[in-house]
Amino acid sequence: MNKKTFEELHASVRDGGAILRGKMKPARRTVITGPEVATIRKNMELSQAAFARMMGISVDTLQNWEQERRVPEGPARALLTVAAKIPEAVKAALHDESAKTKITRGKPRRNGVHA
């Protein structure tokens, strides 16, 4: 590493420390937000329990998403993105199937037998 690059890197590390200590403001801030889960659910006209069953998640997980204590990730986030844009397709594809699945302690059950 040449001296100039090292000095730039060292200054960046010092600035980062100052930002973490609150002595300096960052040049920019990126905030990553998840989908508006409560809005998506309400637009689909489903209760929390029905929406959670349809998604294959517990009501606790749904409430954590809606209250922004947690952010949906991976396939759940992708499905929510589709549900936000084409709610009728997601509801048609999953809502009838979700009536057959019961969520207990976060694990799917079918006809009273653990999957």
Domain harbouring 94, CATH code? 1.10.260
Q: Is 113 helix (H, G, I), strand (E, B) or coil?
A: strand
What is the structure's pLDDT at 32?
67
| Span 68-89, pLDDT tens digits | 899 999 999 999 999 999 999 9
Please check whether residues 42 and 25 belong to one and the same domain: no
Task: Specify whether 62 is located in the same domain as 7.
Answer: no
Residues 24 and 46 placed together within one structural domain of the fold = no
Low pLDDT (below 70) residues in the chain: 32, 96-115
Q: What is the pLDDT of residue 4?
A: 94
- Spatial contact of 58 and 106, defined as CB atoms under 8 Å apart: yes
Between CA 99 and CA 50 the distance in angstroms is 8
Same domain, 71 and 108: yes
DSSP 40-102: HHHHTT--HHHHHHHHT--HHHHHHHHTTSS---HHHHHHHHHHHH-HHHHHHHHHHHHTTEE
Please name the residues in contact with 3: beta carbons below 8 A apart, sequence gap of 6 or more: none
Instruction: Assess whether 101 and 47 both reside in one domain.
Output: yes
